[in-house]
Amino acid sequence: MTHDEARDIRVLLVDDQDLVRAGFRIILESEDGIEVVGEATTGRAAVALASELQPDVICMDVQMPDMDGLQATELLTRDAKTDAAILIVTTFDRDDYLFAALKAGASGFLLKNAGPEELIDAVGIVARGDALIAPAMTRRVVEHFATSAQPGETAGTGGETHPGPARHSRLDVLTEREAEVLRLLAQGLSNSEIARRLFVGEATVKTHVSRILMKLDLRDRTQAVVFAYENGIVTPGSV
């Protein structure tokens, strides 16, 4: 999901704690270019509001009554009920939440102890269609997928494995340069960093990323990262 810079970023806040939502609203609406268009206290309410309001970004808590945030994220992305980027914002720095959020289709993962500027930056990052995974989290994700899935299997959120496509089975649709960009993207590099590494312009990198997403039928950069992990394109030693 890419954001049109000519209009405000529309945000839906989803959290069962009134004070948390109020705090997030104050922080986000203090920034020019961000508008909070709605609030929900449950995952089920979030699904309904997302379809009605069509926000650009959904700040989604994990632990909530009547459908948790991970279930709501999966439902929203699986059934294409919204084009919004989903930013998981949680108190808990837990690997199972991180892995499940990425598998469900979230575009980013942020802890609630982050500072106000980090929340504002995170909303802007996912609204542009970029991935938001801290380097330390990136390493954990790589190690998780590398150790829990064998060739031809994909890792489940609980560590189990399921039959899946053979590694690299879909990569033949990519050019050699696109595959190289995918590897660098999966290592957590930004477009500007990839451009410097490959000695090309940032606009060229953006074009490559767009083509990668289109060819692999992926929602956004974060899903490209997950695809790269599951298919062995990156390994713990490469990050």
For 154-173, the pLDDT digits (tens) are 444 344 444 444 445 577 89
212: left (phi over 0), alpha (psi -120 to 50) or beta: alpha
126 and 35, same structural domain? yes
Higher-scoring residue by pLDDT: 226, 104: 104
Task: Report yes or no: 23 and 6 within 8 Å, Cβ to Cβ.
Answer: no
Rounded percentage of the chain residues whose pLDDT exceeds 90: 47
Q: Is residue 4 part of a domain?
A: no
160 and 200, same structural domain? yes
Burial annotation 200-221 (CB, 10 A radius, 16+ → b, else e): eeeeebeebbebbbeebebbbb
The Cβ of residue 62 has, within 10 Å, a number of other Cβ atoms equal to: 23
Q: What are phi and psi of 172, to 5 degrees?
A: -70, -10
Residue at a domain's end among 68, 99, 132: 132
The Cβ of residue 139 has, within 10 Å, a number of other Cβ atoms equal to: 15
189 and 128, same structural domain? no
Mean pLDDT, residues 134-148: 59
pLDDT of residue 13: 98
Higher-scoring residue by pLDDT: 31, 221: 31
63 and 27, same structural domain? yes
pLDDT of residue 99: 81
219 and 162, same structural domain? yes
Mean pLDDT, residues 12-24: 97
**Number of domains the chain contains:** 2
Task: Report yes or no: 232 and 151 within 8 Å, Cβ to Cβ.
Answer: yes
Q: State the residue range of the domain holding 67.
A: 9-132
Given pLDDT bands bounded at 50, 70 and 90, which one contains residue 145?
low
Half-sphere exposure of 132 (CA within 13 A, CB side): 26
CA distance 222 to 226: 6
171 and 144, same structural domain? yes
- At a CB cut-off of 8 Å and minimum separation 6, what does 99 contact? 141, 144, 155, 157
Across-strand partners of 40?
14
CATH number at 121 reads 3.40.50.2300
State the chain's mean pLDDT as an integer. 82
Task: Report yes or no: 88 and 103 within 8 Å, Cβ to Cβ.
Answer: no
Q: Is residue 120 part of a domain?
A: yes
122 and 27, same structural domain? yes
- pLDDT of residue 94 exceeding 90, the answer is no
155 and 128, same structural domain? no
Burial of 223 (0-12, 13-18, 19+ CB in 10 A): buried
Higher-scoring residue by pLDDT: 102, 134: 102
182 and 219, same structural domain? yes
pLDDT of residue 61: 96
pLDDT of residue 221: 78
CA distance 30 to 62: 25
Q: Is residue 2 part of a domain?
A: no
Given pLDDT bands bounded at 50, 70 and 90, which one contains residue 116?
very high
180 and 67, same structural domain? no
**186: nearest Cα among 123, 238, 136, 148:** 238
- pLDDT of residue 232 exceeding 80, the answer is no
Q: pLDDT of 183-210, one tens digit each?
A: 998 887 888 899 999 999 999 998 999 9
CA distance 207 to 214: 11
Higher-scoring residue by pLDDT: 13, 97: 13
81 and 142, same structural domain? no
Given pLDDT bands bounded at 50, 70 and 90, which one contains residue 148?
low
Mean pLDDT, residues 93-99: 82
